[in-house]
């Protein structure tokens, strides 16, 4: 199959956001699609069919749709940008809707409570379209299930029966078993961390819904996909000595998953390079992550929403003895490598934008 993929944000290049298979859109095609969209926007505004220009994300979403149409993809996976109900991707009628998790973020836009956030996420549910739900929190699960029932959308709770999902620990990490009404799956994800087994179970459940609504997907190929998948910036190992891990954890759920992984595998001294968006729950993230580390390097990335290192420091005063402020992420990385020594661990976390900056730095310096 020719499968399209639309995700955000990117790590290094905008081209990463729109892919077919593993291949990102080319610069030539990106420019061609953007030029056409730009022309159409101008025409629609002049004809007063559009009152104002679309947002940045709306333009990228239109570009992805157009590009996938040009390339005649068989199927496409669309990642919601934020929330669901009012997201630009929500104009489609999908084969299956997938809600992975619910956490307390983007509360300024999605609501202050988990129920309000859950309702926004449930906004992607369409009448009669199957819903795969990986949410474990009972109140959020209940909210999403009730919305599916209102729209007569078949509902599948991936973890509704805990006995169907089993975790096994081994010397190399984790392996998993997941039983559905259709089959039993045993797999060891290529992606690191216990939480990736849960993500894989959600993907399996979605695949089984596609079996009914689209085309038959062979079980062995589903497992092969899980065991060979790569996802840059999510517990991505880029060096062995010192052990260097990049992770875009930027909310409490992601930080907890990262903490669990670091507790199991990291060798001392353990150094954290941390930067974050200023609208995140900085104090809560600090309380989850900072106690694990011998040194915490606070930095920033070039984006208008990035928190200043000094502001992060003010919200993490209880860890002042281990904090070093270095606004330049490249210099922060050099300091971290030096302090970790060959036997230690360096973790880069807090934002995918920070991960992207470090990936660019690492590629540049490895090529020297």
pLDDT digits (tens, 9 = 90+) for 167-179: 998 877 899 999 9
pLDDT band at 3 (very low <50, low <70, confident <90, very high): very high
The residue-averaged pLDDT of 129-136 equals 96
Which pLDDT score, from 0 to 100, does residue 102 have? 86
pLDDT in tens, 81-119: 988 899 999 999 999 999 999 877 777 778 888 899 999
**Which two three-digit tokens encode residue 69?**
């149409």
What are the residues whose beta carbons fall under 8 Å from the beta carbon of 151, sequence distance 6 or more? Answer: 125, 126, 127, 128
What pLDDT was estimated at residue 171? Answer: 76
Specify whether 331 is located in the same domain as 309.
yes
**Do 89 and 28 belong together in one domain?**
yes
Is the same domain home to 192 and 247?
no
Does residue 208 contact residue 182 with C-beta atoms inside 8 Å? yes
Last residue of a domain, one of 206, 228, 250: 228
Question: Last residue of some domain: 184, 209, 228?
Answer: 228
| Domain match, 30 and 157 both | yes
What pLDDT is recorded for position 129?
Answer: 98
Tokens linked to 339: 């302090």
Residues 50 and 147 in one domain: yes
Among 166, 183, 257, residue whose Cα is nearest residue 223 = 183
Cis link prior to 276 (omega < 30° from 0)? no
Q: Is the pLDDT of residue 126 over 70?
A: yes
| Average pLDDT value over all residues in the chain | 94
In DSSP terms, 270 is beta-bridged to 345
Nearest 5°: CA angle at 357, between 339 and 196?
85
Sign of CA dihedral 229, 193, 259, 266: negative
Rounded Cα distance, 201 and 131, in Å: 14
* 367 pLDDT more than 70: no
Distance separating alpha carbons of residues 158 and 141, to the nearest angstrom: 11
Say if residue 130's pLDDT is above 90.
yes
Spell out the alpha helix ranges (H) of the chain.
27-46, 56-70, 107-110, 114-121, 138-150, 195-213, 219-228, 252-265, 282-289, 309-314, 329-340, 352-366
Find the length of the chain: 368
pLDDT surpasses 80 at 55: yes
- How many folded domains does the chain comprise? 2
147 and 242, same domain (yes or no): no
Which pLDDT belongs to residue 208? 96
Same domain, 127 and 217: yes
Q: Which residue has the tokens 């399996």?
A: 204
What's the pTM?
A: 0.90
CATH number for the domain spanning 178: value is: 3.40.1190.10
Residues 29 and 123 in one domain: yes
Token pair for residue 119? 């309702």
Give the residue from 117, 75, 73, 69 showing the smallest Cα distance to 96. Answer: 75
Chosen domain end from 174, 206, 228 = 228
Does residue 102 sit in the same domain as residue 194?
yes
- pLDDT-above-90 percentage for the chain: 89
For residue 250, what is the domain's CATH number? 3.90.190.20
Same domain, 224 and 247: no
Is there a single domain that holds both residue 220 and residue 259?
A: no
- Phi, psi of 134, deg, nearest 5: -100, 5
Mean pLDDT within 277-305:
96
CB count in 10 Å sphere of residue 199: 20
State yes or no: pLDDT of 161 exceeds 90.
Answer: no
Q: Are residues 153 and 249 in the same domain?
A: no
Split at pLDDT 50, 70, 90, the class of 280 is very high
Note down the domain range covering 286: 236-366
């Amino acid at each position: 199959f020719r499968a399209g993929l639309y995700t955000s944000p990117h790590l290094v290049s905008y081209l990463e956001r729109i892919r077919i298979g593993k291949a990102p859109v080319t610069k030539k095609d990106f420019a061609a699609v953007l030029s056409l969209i730009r022309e159409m926007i101008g025409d629609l505004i002049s004809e007063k069919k559009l009152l104002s220009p679309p947002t940045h994300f709306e333009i990228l979403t239109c570009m992805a749709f157009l590009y996938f149409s040009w390339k005649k993809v068989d199927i496409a996976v669309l990642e919601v940008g934020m929330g669901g109900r009012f997201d630009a991707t929500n104009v489609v009628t999908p084969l299956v809707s997938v809600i992975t998790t619910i956490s307390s973020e983007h509360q300024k836009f999605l609501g202050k409570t988990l129920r309000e956030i859950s309702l926004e996420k449930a906004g992607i549910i369409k009448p009669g379209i199957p819903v795969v739900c990986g949410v474990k929190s009972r109140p959020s699960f209940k909210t999403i299930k009730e919305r599916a029932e209102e729209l007569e959308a078949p509902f599948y709770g991936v973890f509704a029966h805990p006995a169907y999902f089993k975790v096994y620990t081994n010397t190399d990490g984790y392996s998993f078993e997941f039983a559905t009404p259709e089959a039993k799956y045993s797999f060891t994800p290529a992606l690191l961390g216990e939480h990736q087994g849960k993500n894989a179970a959600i993907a399996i459940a979605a695949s089984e819904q596609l079996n009914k609504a689209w085309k038959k997907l062979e079980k062995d190929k589903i497992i092969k996909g899980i065991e060979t998948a790569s996802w840059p910036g999510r517990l991505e190992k880029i060096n062995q000595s010192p052990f260097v891990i990049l992770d875009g954890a930027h909310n409490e759920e992601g930080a907890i998953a990262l903490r669990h992984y670091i507790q199991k595998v990291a060798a001392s001294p353990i150094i954290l390079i941390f930067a974050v968006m200023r609208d995140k729950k900085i104090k809560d993230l600090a309380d989850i992550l900072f106690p694990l580390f011998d040194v915490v390097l606070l930095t920033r990335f070039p984006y208008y929403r990035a928190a200043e290192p000094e502001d992060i420091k003010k919200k993490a005063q209880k860890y002042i003895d281990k904090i070093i402020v270095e606004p330049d992420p490249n210099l922060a990385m050099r300091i971290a490598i030096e302090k970790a020594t060959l036997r230690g661990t360096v973790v880069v976390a807090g934002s995918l934008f920070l991960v992207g900056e470090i990936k660019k730095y690492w590629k540049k310096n490895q090529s020297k």
